[in-house]
Structure 1
Amino acid sequence: MTIFQDIYKRIYASSLGKNIGIRLGAPIESWTGPEVRKCYQPITDYLTDYSQFAADDDGNGPLFFADVMKHHSFNHVTVQDMANNLLNVVPYEKGFFWWGGKGISTEHTAWLNLMNHIDAPLSGSCKQNSKAVSEQIGGQIFSDCWGYLALDKPEIAKDLAEKMSSVTHDLDGIEGGKFIAVCISLAWNIHDTRELIHTALQYLNQNSNYAHLIQEMLDFHLQYSKDPARCLAYIEDKHSYDHYEGLCHI
């Protein structure tokens, strides 16, 4: 197998796995763990069939946001370059994102800011949009591509993810984007999950809530590594949605 074939195969498998997750989780998005278990446990297949499945920004984002690198190098691409690319590829309040309204949908809010000449990174900042809006999940979900573009180059993956995440997000919203991109970059050579997470953690702001939560879960895993149900119960108790602001906190 050539290096190109290996890269192609692994990125394809990773992308396919994510899209399977999108398709599987779509019907129960925003449900709590107990609600899912009450209605569907055990889950052995897709929960519903779709004759058509709508475009989803979880999958669209990584594909289209990477277009900016057709015109810029790793070293010279700027946050505003990425913001301009977003405006070029995202149609006017049609498809792509969840257009849930200003101050509710993080991406919609940032997009409106950009359209009103509020440049990045202010467009996605906590100062401009509030902590609740700026720390929702999108910054993390859209960051796969930067890891794929910088395999085994975690510093570059982190830098690209930080720039793109800051167009729409801030604070932990940016940390999550960095974490996913760095994990994917490192996974080219690190195949042990715990080692991968621990290594990626070193690329984050160590004072962030995001980094503290990852370390908390690594510590929990040391005690209960053979009990995933206990881990899920711990997360639902300590870190469920009701502990955080916004509709879909990171």
Structure 2
Amino acid sequence: MMLQKYQNQIYAGVLGKIIGVYLGRPVEGWSYEKIQDTFGEIYYYKNHKTGAPLIVPDDDISGTFAFYRALEDNGYSKELTAEQIGDAWLNYIIENETILWWGGLCRSTEHTAYIRLKNGIKAPESGSEKLNGKSMSEQIGSEIFIDTWALINPNQPERAAIMARNAASVSHDGLAVEAAVLLAVMESMAFEQPDIDCLLDESLKFVQNEFLVSLVQELRERCKMAEDWKEVRDWIAREHGYDKYPGNCPMVTNHLTLLMSLIMGGDDFAKACMIACSAGWDTDCNSGNVGCLNGIRLGLDGFSKGAELRRPVADRMYVVTSDSGETISDAVLETRKLVKAAAALAGEEIYLPEERYAFEYPGSVQGVIRFEENLEEQALTKIENAYEKYGIYGCEISYEGLGRGLHAACCVDTFIDLKPKGKEGTSYFDVLCSPTLYSGQEITATILCKDEQNPMFRFFYSVF
């Protein structure tokens, strides 16, 4: 079974996506000069510096993990059409509340496309240049939602290209669609080909826009000649900055920034995301795409170099759609859905755990974090995946000095605290959520502990 060997890379791609988004999110919309003056190079999460939670609802995450569900809704058809993906937009988006930037007709590309769809105009016409104009149809949005079409087509670039093209054309056209195809093909091929130059060479064969091809080739030459990423960034700003293109968030500027980050970051996951976050423009979108591709390309080992980026995230993510019972999610749960889709497309059968918490991927903790209340009485020292140490799937909860009056407490979120104490809120994207814990549920767990360290164990719930 070919798909079996790709599962960890799919998981790494999901992790890379959300880590990249969380790294770039706090400085989204900041000028390059402000980023440099405030942080310099961003190698770690800055949410605590800007007054926001680390885990927030974000369009890059919600849209990416919502729109590909058109495949499941249509029986995992290999001939999935743009119209069917457009229908998924109508099914999973709640107007003026979820996923999109609701900036208005002919101001927000995605909002414009949604209005077209709502008024009965089917995709791909909903995203066409003919209907919406060149400035609207060639913005960055086609790229930010594209990763899942590659993740469900590991080492299947032809199919990834077709699905990505159909998905991108729901809201975009022209160069923006071609850039999305380029990225999706690179990600699909990255399951087997880790070399960035080879990925670019092969993926450019799928691009139908000569201007984009020439742009990418010039960027590659600039990267070869530069000693530092900032030299390339200066060239992008000078020749292809936002002032050179119409619209709020043009594709060209951001696509070049994304590719610069991949090339100049080399095989260093943290460095590539740092460049994408530190360069300015659409930081969370660019870093999220960079993180996904490098997650696939470098695998889980790629997260081990540099600062510890996995532990603070702990797999946590929000997928905010009309399916509010799926809002509180994690990288393992989303990986299972992607693997199921990939298996269906590949015609393979694959076993997936039925339990919500199975911790089946290396290093996964599925949102298990320290319980923050009464930290002075907290004896918990570590939360980590148990497989490598014990050969069983599980989450190890370590503690020291546990005695009377102390506890080793960990928890998982079952609802979203919409306005954390001392914070202004989660983000400018609304949160619609149903709790994952409610009256009448039966909860079971298997607890293994050394006899000489066997504590009293109990479930608890806390309402803030």
TM-score by length of 1: 0.92
Shift of 1:188: 1.0
Structure 2 counterpart of 1:57 = 59
Cα-to-partner distance string for 1:209-249 (whole Å, 9 max, x where unaligned): 3222111112223333x432222222222211111110011
Other structure's SS at 1:15 match:
helix
Structure 2 counterpart of 1:230 = 231
Shift of 1:170: 0.6
- For 2:184 and 2:41, the matched residues in 1 are separated by 31
Cα-to-partner distance string for 1:36-89 (whole Å, 9 max, x where unaligned): 112211334222233374421211122111111112445421111111111111
Structure 2 counterpart of 1:101 = 104
User: Structure 1 counterpart of 2:132, which letter?
Assistant: N
Higher helix fraction (1 or 2):
1
Structure 2 counterpart of 1:22 = 21
Shift of 1:129: 1.1
- For 1:184 and 1:88, the matched residues in 2 are separated by 27
Structure 2 counterpart of 1:172 = 175
Cα-to-partner distance string for 1:76-114 (whole Å, 9 max, x where unaligned): 211111111111111122121111111111111100111
- Contact 2:175/2:212 (CA < 8 Å) preserved in 1? yes
Of stretches 4-13 and 142-151 in structure 1, the one that deviates more from structure 2 is 4-13
Give % identity: 33
- For 1:181 and 1:113, the matched residues in 2 are separated by 25
Unaligned 5+ segments in structure 1 are: none
- For 1:74 and 1:211, the matched residues in 2 are separated by 31
TM-score by length of 2: 0.51
Structure 2 counterpart of 1:248 = 249
- For 1:26 and 1:149, the matched residues in 2 are separated by 25
Other structure's SS at 1:168 match:
coil
Structure 1 115/87 Cα, relative in aligned 2: closer, same or farther at 3 Å? same
Q: How many residues align?
A: 247
Where does 1:102-141 land on structure 2 (aligned, <5 Å)? 102-141=105-144
Shift of 1:33: 2.2
- Contact 2:129/2:137 (CA < 8 Å) preserved in 1? yes
| 1:68 aligned residue (62, 67, 70) | 70
Cα-to-partner distance string for 1:130-174 (whole Å, 9 max, x where unaligned): 111111111011110111111111111110010011011111111
- Contact 2:47/2:53 (CA < 8 Å) preserved in 1? no
Unaligned 5+ segments in structure 2 are: 252-464
Other structure's SS at 2:169 match:
helix
| 1:216 aligned residue (212, 215, 218) | 218
User: Structure 2 counterpart of 1:76, which letter?
Assistant: E
- For 1:164 and 1:25, the matched residues in 2 are separated by 24
Cα-to-partner distance string for 1:192-222 (whole Å, 9 max, x where unaligned): 1111112111110142x32221111122233
User: Structure 1 counterpart of 2:38, which letter?
Assistant: C
Shift of 1:17: 1.8
Structure 1 counterpart of 2:410 = none
Of stretches 235-244 and 73-82 in structure 1, the one that deviates more from structure 2 is 73-82
- Contact 2:71/2:77 (CA < 8 Å) preserved in 1? yes
| 2:206 aligned residue (193, 203, 216) | 203
- Contact 1:33/1:236 (CA < 8 Å) preserved in 2? no
User: Structure 1 counterpart of 2:245, which letter?
Assistant: Y
Of stretches 125-134 and 45-54 in structure 1, the one that deviates more from structure 2 is 45-54
- For 2:156 and 2:3, the matched residues in 1 are separated by 17
- For 1:141 and 1:51, the matched residues in 2 are separated by 22
Higher strand fraction (1 or 2):
2
- Contact 2:60/2:144 (CA < 8 Å) preserved in 1? yes
Bigger RCO (CA 8 Å, 6+ sep): 2
Of stretches 21-30 and 158-167 in structure 1, the one that deviates more from structure 2 is 21-30
Of stretches 41-50 and 88-97 in structure 1, the one that deviates more from structure 2 is 41-50
- Contact 1:74/1:156 (CA < 8 Å) preserved in 2? no
User: Structure 2 counterpart of 1:9, which letter?
Assistant: N
- For 1:112 and 1:166, the matched residues in 2 are separated by 15
User: Structure 2 counterpart of 1:24, which letter?
Assistant: L
Structure 1 160/227 Cα, relative in aligned 2: closer, same or farther at 3 Å? same
Other structure's SS at 1:43 match:
coil
